[in-house]
Amino acid sequence: MPDEKNGKEQWFSNKDLFLMVQELRGELKETREIVKKYNGIRSDMNWCVEQLQKHKITKDTRYNLLSGVREWGGWIVAIGILLVKIFG
Q: Where are the domains of the chain?
A: 1-88
16, pLDDT greater than 80: yes
pLDDT for position 23? 94
13, pLDDT greater than 70: yes
Tell me the pTM.
0.48
**Looking at residue 6, what DSSP letter applies?**
T
Longest dimension (CA), the chain: 117
Identify the band that residue 2 occupies on the pLDDT scale cut at 50, 70 and 90: low
pLDDT 10s digits, 34-66: 999 999 999 999 999 999 999 998 888 888 888
Distance CA 72, CA 74 (A): 6
